[in-house]
Amino acid sequence: MTLLSVFIGAALGAMLRYLVIMFWPFHTPIFTAVFAINLVGALFMGIIFASNQISDMHNFWSVGLLGGLTTFSTMMVQSAQLPFYKQLIYLMVQLIGGILCFMVGVALINIF
């Protein structure tokens, strides 16, 4: 059952990522759909992590949906398409922003 929930979640997450990328209204080299998806994914991962409930639904949301939604490989490809100094900025903003969003998600659960 766990494998099935991860499989369904990952498929839905990948489809959602594709839709967001296709309909993303901004065309800038830094603030991309992948950038936004990764930050939103980190926020929700913090919320799920802080809930501290391991179940098939937890695996569906965290490993499946958010794993399929967020994408490390596309982030790397996008950074490689930028000049070197912008690569460093892009990756640092992604990583620091992701950590901060994760911490906000954890804090939201701890507040409520």
pLDDT tens figures, 18-49? 999 999 998 887 788 999 999 999 999 999 99
Please tell me the predicted confidence (pLDDT) of residue 68. 95
Please tell me the predicted confidence (pLDDT) of residue 23. 94
Q: Which residues of the chain have pLDDT under 50?
A: none
Please tell me the predicted confidence (pLDDT) of residue 56. 81
With a pLDDT cut of 90, the percent of the chain lying above it is 72
67 is in an annotated binding site: yes
Please tell me the predicted confidence (pLDDT) of residue 26. 86
Please tell me the predicted confidence (pLDDT) of residue 49. 93
Q: What's the whole-model pTM score?
A: 0.89
Number of Cα atoms under 13 Å in the Cβ half of residue 100: 7
46 is in an annotated binding site: no
Please tell me the predicted confidence (pLDDT) of residue 53. 79
